[in-house]
Amino acid sequence: MNALVYHGPGKRSWEAKPKPIVQKPTDAVVRIEKTTICGTDLHILKGDVPAVTDGRILGHEGVGVVEEVGAGVSNFKKGDRVLISCITSCGKCDACKKGMYSHCADGGWILGHLIDGTQAEYVRIPHADNSLHLVPEGVDEDALVMLSDILPTGFEVGVLNGKVKPGDRVAIVGGGPVGLAALLTAQFYSPAELIMIDLDDNRLAVAKKLGATQCVNSGDGKAVEKVMALTGGKGVDVAIEAVGIPATFDVCQDIVAAGGHLANVGVHGKPVSLKLEKLWIHNVTITTGLVDTNTTPMLLKTVVAGRLQPRQLITHDFRLDDLMKAYDTFANAAKEKALKVIIRRG
Ligand code: ZN
Ligand code: ZN
């Protein structure tokens, strides 16, 4: 089969690899029908994730068809159409028993990281019973690819950790796919204000279409002043950080209201300074997290019902054997006006 293979910082290729096989009774092999590229894949290619070694097939999102299952898999059979979770989980260890699948003792985020991933014609999925979801009949499978990672990430780590409530003022710093996923799913809770902050006017225009009540371009360095002006000087009840750099975390620290929540979603590579001299008296809760994907079954229902429409996040379409080109486009997201790219077999 062919696959997108990482060969050290800055190096990737589309090349022949052996087709994966069932290695353990709990494995399934899935034929990839659709996949996509994540911002995390770009981090890997920059060399920011040293655990990813030369020769690794990238990708942790996708929809496919079960090709083969091990003797211990009871929920799925050959021919089933499945959504692949970006998090692999055994369902049995201490972390899994708490619903914290991201910290599974024999899983977590391993696809396209510690084991070969989904940007290939086939992928091996360990602990298939707990790490795959059956695709409901007639559902838009392109939209479902958004449920492998970005929708549960924006929802769990942004909206749920941030405790968004009806009537809240919510600000999201970063209008990339995950920030927009938080924007879409925050609306389950009817917040009064949904303020999107980004440097890119195109992304702000998309945010406006997807339900942002206010958009703030932070290019002039005055995001904090603008948000304070929009909130009568009070700040926001929930500040969701969806970028992962010190400047955007600082904006969140400066706009979170007394009693508010700061939910960090961004992947940070550098230390940030905590403004405890200001926040100690502010009754603020700061949360961090990696997605557990235990909300995926719920999100799946909202997509089937049409309440959530993640197809809106897809801007580009490629064939699997054009994955190299898809990376070029996704890596130049601002210029190409790219959010999520869908990559389909044949
Ligand atoms: Zn991802
Ligand atoms: Zn586990």
Same domain as 172, residue 246: yes
Q: How far apart are CA 157 and CA 149, in angstroms?
A: 11
Residues 229 and 324 in one domain: no
Q: Are 334 and 200 in contact (CB under 8 A)?
A: yes
Residues 76 and 167 in one domain: no
Where a domain ends, among 264, 287, 310?
Answer: 287
Angle made by CA atoms 7, 8, 10, in degrees to the nearest 5: 100
Q: For residue 104, what are its two tokens?
A: 């599974």
Tell me what the mean pLDDT of segment 30-58 comes to: 96
Cα–Cα distance for residue pair 267/162, rounded to 1 Å: 17
- Going by C-alpha positions, the residue among 101, 146, 97 that lies closest to residue 126 is 101
**What CATH number is associated with residue 88?**
3.90.180.10
- In this prediction the pTM is 0.97
Placement of tokens 């339900």 in the chain: 211
Q: Residue 294 Cα, ligand 2 centroid: separation in angstroms?
A: 12
User: Which among 269, 287, 305 is the end of a domain?
Assistant: 287
At residue 65 the predicted structure's pLDDT band, cuts being 50, 70 and 90, is: very high
pLDDT at 248: 98
- Residue 74 Cα to ligand 1 middle (Å): 27
| For the chain, the helix, strand and coil percentages under 3-state DSSP, each to the nearest 5 | 30, 25, 45
Check whether residue 176 and residue 279 sit in a common domain: yes
pLDDT of residue 232: 97
Question: Does the structure show a pLDDT above 80 at 225?
Answer: yes
3-state secondary structure of 314: strand
Unique residue bearing structure tokens 């590579």: 269
Is the same domain home to 21 and 45? yes
pLDDT for the residue numbered 128:
98
Mean pLDDT of 80-106: 98
Amino acid identity, position 329: T
Ligand nearest to the CA of 100: 2
Ligand 2 centre to CA of 135 (Å) is: 23
Q: How many domains does one find in the chain? A: 2
Same domain, 104 and 159: no
Ligand nearest to the CA of 147: 1
- The yes-or-no verdict on residue 208 having pLDDT over 90 is yes
Q: What is the mean pLDDT of residues 73-101?
A: 98
Please name which ligand lies nearest the alpha carbon of 38: 1
Same domain, 37 and 164: no
Which has the closest alpha carbon to 248: 276, 227, 229? 227
CATH code (residue 224): 3.40.50.720
- CA torsion sign for 170, 43, 20, 2 is positive
- Name the pLDDT band for 298 (thresholds 50, 70, 90): very high
- Say yes or no to pLDDT of 16 above 90: yes
| Residue 175 · residue 200 · CB < 8 Å | yes
Q: How far is the CA of 168 from the centre of ligand 2 (A)?
A: 35
Contact residues for 215 (Cβ-Cβ < 8 A; gap 6+): 195, 196, 197, 198, 204, 205, 207, 208
When pLDDT is averaged across residues 46-64 and rounded to a whole number, the result is 96
Express as a percent the part of the chain with pLDDT over 90.
Answer: 98
| Each residue's pLDDT tens digit, 309-338 | 999 999 999 999 999 999 999 999 999 999
Å from CA of 99 to ligand 2 middle: 9
Torsion (CA) 156, 162, 165, 168 in degrees, nearest 10: -140
Range of the domain at 7: 2-149+292-344
Taking only the tens place, the pLDDT of each residue in 131-152 is 999 999 999 999 999 999 999 9
- CA 174 – CA 194 distance, rounded (Å): 13
In the chain, the percentage of residues whose pLDDT exceeds 70 is 100
Ligand that comes closest to the CA of residue 97: 2
CA of 292 to the centre of ligand 1 (A): 12
Which of 270, 287, 304 is a domain's end point?
A: 287
97 and 44 fall within a common domain = yes
pLDDT per residue as tens digits for the range 151-199: 999 999 999 999 999 999 999 999 999 999 999 999 999 999 999 999 9
Q: Does one domain contain both 252 and 282?
A: yes
Return the structure tokens found at 194: 């949904």
Mean pLDDT rounded to a whole number for the chain: 97
C-alpha–C-alpha distance, residues 287 and 306, integer Å: 30
Token pair 């702000």 in the structure block, residue: 204
Sequential DSSP letters for 93-144: SHHHHTT-GGG-TT-BS-BTTTB--SSBSEEEESSHHHHEEEPPTT--HHHH
Contact 194, 166 (CB under 8 A): no
Pair 35, 141 in one domain: yes
The residue assigned the tokens 């499945």 is 82
User: Which pLDDT does position 48 carry in this prediction?
Assistant: 87
**Does residue 346 surpass a pLDDT of 80?**
no
**Residue 141 sits in the same domain as residue 165:** no
Q: Under 8 Å CB-to-CB from 31, ≥6 apart: which residues?
A: 64, 65, 66, 67, 121, 122, 345
Taking the centre of ligand 1 as the mean of its atom positions, its distance from the CA of residue 40, in whole angstroms, is 5
Do 144 and 39 belong together in one domain? yes
